[in-house]
Amino acid sequence: MPRCSISAEVADILPREEHQALLTRIVSWLRPGGHLLVTVARTAHPGYTERDFCGVTMFWSHFEPEWYVSELESLGLEVLLRSVIPGGLDTHDHPLLFARVPLGLGGDAVSQH
């Protein structure tokens, strides 16, 4: 994918072992000054299957919000905002992270940070 300023949601439908590589890949797409918007789960869970999520079976796994903040910062991003999206399909609030690639850092430089 070409480098750009994008917003993305890190899908927690992958095993947790793949979250770090996915974040690294997504961040590598961002150009200097690019932004990343991520919703995450409230708590950590190694993985479970929900049999009826809007009519389909869905696998979920996730870390706590602090893990994602730490990972984004270790990739060189500045976490600008930590907030909460109230409610949702499951009526639970969902943490929201908004981060930015500093000017002068982007693309391959971010993934190697």
Predicted TM-score of the model (pTM): 0.78
Confidence category of residue 82, pLDDT binned at 50, 70, 90: very high
Task: Using alpha carbons, select from 51, 41, 53 the residue that is nearest to residue 16.
Answer: 41
Q: What is the mean pLDDT of residues 44-63?
A: 88
Q: What is the mean pLDDT of residues 57-85?
A: 93
Report the alpha-carbon distance of residue 108 to residue 113 in Å, rounded.
Answer: 9
What pLDDT does 81 receive?
96
Asked whether the CA dihedral 11, 38, 6, 27 is positive or negative, the reply is: negative
Residue 76, token pair as written in the block: 């060189």
Across the chain, what does the average pLDDT equal? 83
Confidence category of residue 83, pLDDT binned at 50, 70, 90: very high
Share of the chain above pLDDT 70, in %: 79
Report the alpha-carbon distance of residue 70 to residue 77 in Å, rounded.
Answer: 10
Report the alpha-carbon distance of residue 79 to residue 64 in Å, rounded.
Answer: 15
What pLDDT does 107 receive?
56
